[in-house]
Amino acid sequence: MKQVTAAVVRLLVTFLIVSAVVFVNRSQGGDEASAETVRCDLDPPGDVAGLETCLARSPRDVEILLELSAAYEAAGRHAEARVALTRAAAIDPRDAGVRQRLAR
Amino acid sequence: MRFLALSVARVVNAAFFVASSVYCLLSYSSFAYAQFIKPQLVGWIPDAAALHHQVFWLTVLITAPTLVPVLVRGSRGPRIAAAAYLAGNVMLGSWLTVNPVLTLAGPNTRTLVIAALCLVPPFLLAVVDHICAPRPVVRPVELSRLFLGAAAAAVATWLTYTLLIPWYLPRTVGLDLTWTAMTLAVGVSLVSHLLVFAVIYLVAAAVIAVAGLARRPLVEYWAVSALCAAVLGFIFERVVAVALSFQARESWLLSVWLSAVIAAIWSGLAWQRRASGVHEDDDAIDVWFGPITGPAAVTVIGLITLPLVALGLRTAVAQFDWNFLLQKLGVCLVWALALGWGCRATRRAARSRAAGDRLAVAMVLVGLAGVPVATRVATWSGDARLAPEFVLDRYAALDGSYQLLRGLLRTNAGADAEFYRFLKAHSTLGFVSASPVDVDFVDGFHATTARPHIFLFIVDSLRRDYLSPYNPAVTFTPATQAFAAESVVFDRAFTRYGATGLSVPSLWTGGMLLHKQYVQPFAPMQSLEKLLDGGGYRRLMSDDHLVTQLFRPSPATTLLDLQIDEMDHTMCGTVNELQSALTATRGDTRPIFAMTRPLQLHTARLVRDPETPASAYPGFAPGYAKQVAALDRCLGGFIGYLKQSGLYDQSVVILTSDHGESLGENGRWGHAYTLYPEVVQIPLIIHLPTTLAAAVTTDRSSIALSTDITPTLYALAGEQPRDLGVLYGRPLFTPIDQPIRSRRRESFLLSSSYGPVHAMLRHNGRSLYIADAVQGLDLAYEMQADGRMARLTMTDVIRTVNRRLMRDHIGQIASAYHFTPAP
């Protein structure tokens, strides 16, 4: 009887340990990103304030920088438009589209 | 000596039947059948299948003498078993001679059943071996020696692969691990080995303890055998079945059956080994590992030479391109040897049971604590380069044992598990119902005589950074450089599919395809063929398995490279033949379409080449670079011919590849399953006739996809292809009076041809997200200022956005083909 109990206990402990190993090594995909961040990435707003907020979330997003530059330009904020383009060119200097806009 | 002869005979027997079974499994796998078996890409495989029954008889001839002693001197039961086995084999051999089953194998359920049946003869032989050998008398297992054996095996395997690091470090491309990172990784590897072997010990101890209740030591032996079979089955399922993309149910059934057969064969050998000598005081562990253990000196020599064994195994299959399948199986063999020799070396050690248990639990706890500690080292030290996803992934390229451990320990739960299930349900589709889709870029073709000639060179596995227009460090492609100077070089060209199987067909379609080889009939999706028909092109195409499967026979077609093995298609051979054909048909006024896919850079082809000294192409993979240089010379020769014959200025000439290639980056080789940057980035250089070049414009730094090539040809041939949406390509050139349409905000799905591995390409080709359902992991890359793609830390935003897009794009493809995955 004592031996049976010991075997059962050993089985249970082993099961618990294996479960713990599986549990600690599992990946679950992390948390869902916030709706606002996802929107910035997939469908950014067209206004300067909205684009600036998105840029703060994704500072290396060249497309947001280009759109922000265009928005600044439309608002007559030429110096800021140029800064945004310069930042975009620094991130992706091989992008001919960015270089052309900067040259203009 | 008798045991040695018997071992060789059993290994030969098992190898023959397992190889037969594997052949059937490969044939059952629709992608392997379509890409390798049916087109007979590897010449000796169909030859071996045709000779199957003859090799069967040879196997019987090798096996039969080992049963003669039983037939002559054995008692009644063993004699009947041996005679029945041999009689059964004679009957089976006669039947196989008349019915060569392997030559009829294909992607159908019958082949799967044959694969399972192939394993019945070796299983029956194992039963005969058990019947013929006396039952081993064993003493109960001392769990303490089992613990010491497992601990010794953990240290031995860790040490084996750690000692090999100095060998692999200079031979692995792109590894920038600091000493701190390396030390951290080696420590994590040690802890991981201790953790896994401690778990193996605890499970074995539990199973043996339960078996011990029967108070019959032989029950312990069967428990050990069953446990080993279970471990083998787990490894087969996680390593082999996954690599072949089998579905869950069939993969588990096959893994269980295969592991049971191998365990039975091994057990039969173990019993025969014990019967061949005097072994007192053995327990179940000694009997099980008997075939690989011997005197203490053998064990010591074995443990000392383990690094050489590991090195030999890995070197032999280093470039085998199937999710590291053979490399991982080689590591499993090293583990088994280490465990066997470890248990043997610690046989005489005596400790209390409790000490082993406590130490094992302590090892597990250290291992469990190690995971969060390793995760936080980067945060504590403030050094982002110590993040485990970078350090450990790179280190795994050096340490095959850790690489396998990491894969086996990885489990997906929650959103990850659900997402990878989704990818698997939509990938490598075999027997599913799907309808062809009409891909029509135009409603009808204009009547015009001014169509340009088209020369399309799709070089299999050509990396763009081995061409000087993409990499100034390349000095061995002067002809390509000259050709590029007269052409448009697309800086951000990507293939839509890793590997040829779907890459080339999707290029012809000009769009993404259902992940199946292939939806039939293919003609409705064959946009390129429609253009050739509508444009009145005469075609000169290399005779490869995709052309013969996916182009309809036509009197306008002349096949090149006939009677030449596909793997031997080279740029030189094809363009020489093409030149002769063009010269011979100079009077033909129809526009020319010529296409070839040279395979001289393919991994399977390169391994046949004699070794090229590294000094010949410093900084490059020498064998590969040598073939690129050869290819370049022949391309240059052909361009010269086009110029000489006056065709060049009337021709669109395209140099591209179906995918890139991993050449040792972080230990990766090949392209079959992966979508790493070096695999998805391709060269794309397009030469335009002078008149066309003056009439169009393009943004060469904008993203260009392999699926854009066919719609581009439509446009260059004078048609106006319509925009079919994000899953399809669009012309890369715009009439000079029209604005270039930006693709900056668009996202593109890329897929592997042969496995559930997909990627999203975004931000004008700067961002690459890869979801690998084979390995159960995802990766993110970002293009740096110098054009190099660097790995990023995964974030919730990257994961959420890309997975959402990937689901959407894959769902759109499924919907277009009226495919619904099984629930």
Is the CB of A60 less than 8 angstroms away from the CB of B782? yes
Residue A57's alpha-carbon distances to A33, B382, B658, B699, B767, in angstroms, are 12, 22, 36, 29, 16
Q: How confident is the model at residue B449 (pLDDT cuts 50, 70, 90)?
A: low
* In chain B, domain spans: 1-132, 453-744
Rounded to the nearest angstrom, the minimum Cα separation between A84 and chain B is 16
**Chosen from B193, B202, B423 to mutate, greatest number of chain A CBs within 10 A:** B202
B453 - beta bridge partners? B651
- How far is Cα B204 from Cα B230, in angstroms, rounded to an integer? 11
Taking residue A26's Cβ as centre, other Cβ atoms within 10 Å add up to: 16
CA-closest candidate to residue B559, choices B580, B570, B544: B544
Does B121 have pLDDT greater than 70?
A: yes
B655 - beta bridge partners? B457, B685
**Which of B135-149, B278-292, B471-485: highest mean pLDDT?**
B471-485
Q: How confident is the model at residue B213 (pLDDT cuts 50, 70, 90)?
A: confident
Name every chain A residue with its beta carbon within 8 A of the beta carbon of B209: 6-7, 10-11
Residues of A with CB under 8 A from a CB of B: 3-4, 6-7, 10-11, 13-14, 17-18, 20-22, 24-33, 37-38, 41-42, 57-58, 60-63, 66, 90-97
Is the CB of A62 less than 8 angstroms away from the CB of B364? no
- Condensed to tens digits (0 to 9), the pLDDT of residues B301-319 reads 888 999 999 999 988 887 7
The CA-CA-CA angle for residues B186, B192, B195, to 5°, reads 145
- Condensed to tens digits (0 to 9), the pLDDT of residues B539-579 reads 999 999 999 999 999 999 999 999 898 999 999 999 999 99
Name every chain A residue with its beta carbon within 8 A of the beta carbon of B744: 62-63, 66, 97
Backbone angles phi, psi at B98, to 5 degrees: -85, -30
Q: How confident is the model at residue B240 (pLDDT cuts 50, 70, 90)?
A: confident
- Condensed to tens digits (0 to 9), the pLDDT of residues B320-352 reads 667 788 889 999 999 999 999 988 888 776 555
Helix A35-42 × helix B796-816 angle, to 10°: 60
Helix B217-235 × helix B179-212 angle, to 10°: 140
- Quick one: closest CA in A to B215, which residue? A3
- How far is Cα A32 from Cα B800, in angstroms, rounded to an integer? 6
SS3 B516: strand
Q: Which residue has the higher pLDDT, B817 or B371?
A: B817
Q: How confident is the model at residue B631 (pLDDT cuts 50, 70, 90)?
A: very high
**Which of B229-238, B759-768, B783-792: highest mean pLDDT?**
B759-768
Is the CB of B766 less than 8 angstroms away from the CB of A62? yes
Q: What is the mean pLDDT of residues B126-130?
A: 94
CB nearest to B763's CB, from A26, A28, A63: A63
Counting one residue from chain A and one from chain B, the pairs whose CB atoms sit within 8 A come to 128
- Condensed to tens digits (0 to 9), the pLDDT of residues B677-695 reads 999 999 999 999 999 999 9
Rounded to the nearest angstrom, the minimum Cα separation between B800 and chain A is 6
Does A97 have pLDDT greater than 90?
A: no
Name every chain A residue with its beta carbon within 8 A of the beta carbon of B702: 96-97
- Quick one: closest CA in A to B197, which residue? A18
Residue type, B268: G
- How far is Cα B513 from Cα B502, in angstroms, rounded to an integer? 8
Mean pLDDT lowest among B348-357, B553-562, B760-769: B348-357
Is the CB of A94 less than 8 angstroms away from the CB of B367? no
Mean pLDDT lowest among B41-45, B183-187, B231-235, B605-609: B41-45
Tell me how far the alpha carbon of residue B207 is from its chain's centroid.
35
- Quick one: closest CA in B to A5, which residue? B210
Is the CB of B212 less than 8 angstroms away from the CB of A3? yes
pLDDT (0 to 100) of residue B354:
62
Is the CB of A14 less than 8 angstroms away from the CB of B206? yes
- Condensed to tens digits (0 to 9), the pLDDT of residues A20-35 reads 877 777 777 777 788 8
Name every chain A residue with its beta carbon within 8 A of the beta carbon of B803: 29
Rounded to the nearest angstrom, the minimum Cα separation between B269 and chain A is 30
Mean pLDDT lowest among B537-551, B640-654, B733-747: B733-747
Is the CB of A10 less than 8 angstroms away from the CB of B209? yes
* In chain A, domain spans: 46-103
Q: How confident is the model at residue B446 (pLDDT cuts 50, 70, 90)?
A: confident
CB nearest to A38's CB, from B701, B794, B801: B801
Q: How confident is the model at residue B506 (pLDDT cuts 50, 70, 90)?
A: very high
Q: Tell the burial category of B686 from Cβ atoms under 10 Å away from its Cβ (0-12, 13-18, 19+).
A: buried
The CA-CA-CA angle for residues B470, B471, B477, to 5°, reads 85
Rounded to the nearest angstrom, the minimum Cα separation between B663 and chain A is 25
Q: How confident is the model at residue B482 (pLDDT cuts 50, 70, 90)?
A: very high
Name every chain A residue with its beta carbon within 8 A of the beta carbon of B412: 26-29
- How far is Cα B813 from Cα B512, in angstroms, rounded to an integer? 7
- How far is Cα B286 from Cα B221, in angstroms, rounded to an integer? 10
Mean pLDDT lowest among B136-145, B153-162, B266-275, B475-484: B136-145
Fold for domain B453-744?
Alkaline Phosphatase, subunit A (3.40.720)
- How far is Cα B46 from Cα B51, in angstroms, rounded to an integer? 9
pTM score, two decimals?
Answer: 0.90
Q: Which residue has the higher pLDDT, B330 or B137?
A: B330
pLDDT (0 to 100) of residue A8:
85
pLDDT (0 to 100) of residue B350:
57
- Quick one: closest CA in A to B209, which residue? A7
Rounded to the nearest angstrom, the minimum Cα separation between B365 and chain A is 9
- How far is Cα B190 from Cα B192, in angstroms, rounded to an integer? 5
Taking residue B746's Cβ as centre, other Cβ atoms within 10 Å add up to: 13
Name every chain A residue with its beta carbon within 8 A of the beta carbon of B195: 21
Is the CB of B701 less than 8 angstroms away from the CB of A27? no
Give one word for B552, left, alpha or beta, with left for phi > 0 and alpha for psi -120 to 50: beta
Taking residue A102's Cβ as centre, other Cβ atoms within 10 Å add up to: 14
Is the CB of A17 less than 8 angstroms away from the CB of B364? yes
Q: How confident is the model at residue B280 (pLDDT cuts 50, 70, 90)?
A: low
- Condensed to tens digits (0 to 9), the pLDDT of residues B67-114 reads 998 899 888 989 999 999 999 999 999 999 998 888 888 888 899 999
Identify the helix (H) or strand (E) that includes residue B662. Answer: strand B662-663
Write out the two tokens for B761.
Answer: 């390409």
pLDDT (0 to 100) of residue B353:
58
pLDDT (0 to 100) of residue B295:
79
The CA-CA-CA angle for residues B500, B501, B506, to 5°, reads 85
Name every chain A residue with its beta carbon within 8 A of the beta carbon of B785: 90-94
Q: What is the mean pLDDT of chain B?
A: 90
**Which of A55-59, B293-297, B534-538, B740-744: highest mean pLDDT?**
B534-538
**Chosen from A24, A51, A67 to mutate, greatest number of chain B CBs within 10 A:** A24
Write out the two tokens for B630.
Answer: 């050869």
Mean pLDDT lowest among A53-62, B277-286, B494-503, B656-665: B277-286
Q: How confident is the model at residue B120 (pLDDT cuts 50, 70, 90)?
A: very high
pLDDT (0 to 100) of residue B283:
87
pLDDT (0 to 100) of residue B427:
92
Is the CB of B796 less than 8 angstroms away from the CB of A32? yes
Residue type, B520: Q
In this prediction the ipTM stands at 0.90
Name every chain A residue with its beta carbon within 8 A of the beta carbon of B212: 3, 7
Q: What is the mean pLDDT of residues B626-634?
A: 97
- How far is Cα B794 from Cα B771, in angstroms, rounded to an integer? 11
Does B616 have pLDDT greater than 90?
A: yes
**Whole-number percent of chain B with pLDDT over 90:** 60
pLDDT (0 to 100) of residue A21:
78
Is the CB of A7 less than 8 angstroms away from the CB of B210? yes
Q: What is the mean pLDDT of residues B124-152?
A: 88
- Quick one: closest CA in B to A34, which residue? B797
Q: What is the mean pLDDT of residues B180-206?
A: 90
Is the CB of A7 less than 8 angstroms away from the CB of B209? yes
Q: How confident is the model at residue B609 (pLDDT cuts 50, 70, 90)?
A: confident
- How far is Cα B529 from Cα B510, in angstroms, rounded to an integer? 11
Dump strand ranges (E) for B437-524: 453-459, 488-489, 492-494, 497-498
Does B391 have pLDDT greater than 90?
A: no
Is the CB of B744 less than 8 angstroms away from the CB of A97? yes
- Quick one: closest CA in A to B789, which residue? A92
pLDDT (0 to 100) of residue B352:
56
> Are A95 and B700 contacting, i.e. CB atoms less than 8 angstroms apart?
no
Mean pLDDT lowest among A25-34, A35-44, B40-49, B205-214: A25-34
Q: What is the mean pLDDT of residues B240-250?
A: 76
Q: How confident is the model at residue B281 (pLDDT cuts 50, 70, 90)?
A: confident
Q: Which residue has the higher pLDDT, B765 or B326?
A: B765
Domain A46-103 has CATH 1.25.40.10: yes
